[in-house]
Amino acid sequence: MKTDLLVTGAAGLVGHALRQRNLSDTEFVTREHADLTEFGSTSTMFSLLKPRRVIHLAAVVGGLGGNMIHSGEYFRNNIMMNLNVLEAARLAGVEKLISFMSTCVFPDRCQYPLNEAHLHNGPPHPSNFGYAYAKRMLEVQSAAYRNEWNCNYIVAIPTNIYGPNDNFSLTDGHVIPSLIHRCHLAKQRGEDLVLWGSGKPLREFILSDDVARLTLWLLDNYNEDQPIILSSGIEVSIMELAETLADVMEFKGRLIFDTTKPDGQLRKPSDTAKLKRYLPDFEFTPLRQGLEQTVEWFLSNYPKVRGA
């Protein structure tokens, strides 16, 4: 069996967005099809499907709380999945593979805006060091395989992804999905909504469908050695995000910021020059519009959503 495109982590956020694009000759695989932390299982899957190209999305991810609590688990499982997928792809003769990091892998103390060339210029923020170092090694492995075996492996670095089919866990989810879930519960219970930190940190958010569109473009057009950042470059404070979401969800309670909890990095603006050079006219989905789509999906599927 020969397949044009294999997508790992297909049950996740970006995998779901790619499914909605009705791609032909594509195999979407999840942990039910193969255990990517085991090389034998991973290699068998590649041998059976014989993919020409691969979008590697599978990862163990979480928000600030999850990263702090499960640093060892996140490091181990992400390292194993990436090692196995890239090696199995090499042995299967995959022509091109794109995989993903995130902006949290950049050094804690670095020059802003974050630039692809500065990826290894210092340790990541201690709040997510396990996940961040594992993801950095994905870039190192891709570069090493390109150098020794001429593998066309590229790496994308999206900013904070959100959208339908996210992980809405109250403890391990990223900021937007966990906030949506908590806001929904607070609204049902007639309670105020308590948020971690001061609300001052700034983040860049990107809708999963935008990532899917960019990923397919990269698969056909991008071949640089260096990774590429996927972001609109627009920073939004956590406070502004919470206020916008509360308005979208018609939440009437108070927003209370618990300053005894950590903020994480204050800001990590990204350099979008490379992406704009390739796609100067790409239109990103505005945050409010993306939140409306995500909230609508969440309410339509709750409580049968991931993390609920």
**Any idea which residues carry the catalytic annotation?**
131
CA-only gyration radius of the chain, Å: 19
Q: In sequence order, what E strands does the chain have?
A: 3-8, 26-28, 51-56, 96-100, 153-158, 160-162, 193-196, 202-203, 205-207, 228-230, 236-237, 255-258
Q: Pick from 224, 229, 43, 237: which is nearest to 146 by CA?
A: 224
Max CA-CA distance within the chain?
60
Residues 6+ apart with CB under 8 A from 287: 205, 234, 236, 241, 244
Question: In this structure, which amino acid lies at residue 143?
Answer: A
The SS3 of residue 103 is: helix
**Is 249:292 a contact under the CB 8 Å cutoff?**
no
Q: How many CB atoms lie within 10 A of CB 269?
A: 17
Residue 3 in tokens: 């397949």
Say how far apart CA 256 and CA 249 lie, in whole Å: 17
**Is 97:138 a contact under the CB 8 Å cutoff?**
no
**Is 193:183 a contact under the CB 8 Å cutoff?**
yes
CA 254 to chain CA mean position, Å: 30
